[in-house]
Structure 1
């Protein structure tokens, strides 16, 4: 048996704000949307790989999600690390930086961390 990655899910409180954040910060675009009874799923794509980020919006959810100890994250490569860093610094979303390792993390509107790495 073998499995292939498909998507990863983040639950969000403000779908419009999250979609705008991921577009501006990482260039992720909406691939498709699923409307259900009490929820909306938006699948974001980088336009290069088949992997998607699923944003789940539950209509009745008002309180912030418990993200545990913030020990999990999504990682992304960027072509122009310096330009990405400058953009994220301007957006005020850099939450941790490790210059020795050459990486940093940004935080989305719901508190999820995304690791930013230079393209290899």
Structure 2
């Protein structure tokens, strides 16, 4: 979801078949950033040792902040 007033979007996800309650702040709840140079960002995060999950098929990966909150990194398309 988004609007014409700001360049930000919010995505709501429904995990079909999930029966257990969602835990607020769990891995389903995270922020994401689109980066202009995905390869350079990946290289930096790899050097920092903060990449916690990668999905090359979907061209994205996750890093964790110091408190363990997941942050999704996506290439500009």
> Which residue of the other structure, out of 51, 70, 73, is the alignment partner of 1:94?
51
How large is the Cα RMSD of the aligned pairs?
2.2
Within 5 Å, give how 1:5-16 maps onto structure 2.
none
Residue 108 of structure 1, aligned match among 34, 59, 65 = 65
Q: Give the C-alpha shift of residue 69 in structure 1.
A: 3.2
1:78 equivalent among 18, 35, 42: 35
Q: Which structure carries more strand by proportion?
A: 1
Question: What SS does structure 1 have at the residue aligned with 2:40?
Answer: helix
Structure 1, gaps ≥5 residues long: 6-48, 52-65
User: Considering only CA atoms, is the larger Rg found in Structure 1 or Structure 2?
Assistant: 1
TM normalised by structure 2 equals 0.67
Cα 1:77–1:68 shift into 2, 3 Å: closer
Higher normalized contact order (CA 8 Å, seq sep 6+, divided by chain length):
2
Q: Is there any run of 5+ residues in structure 2 with no aligned partner, and where?
A: 9-22
Shift of 1:112: 0.7
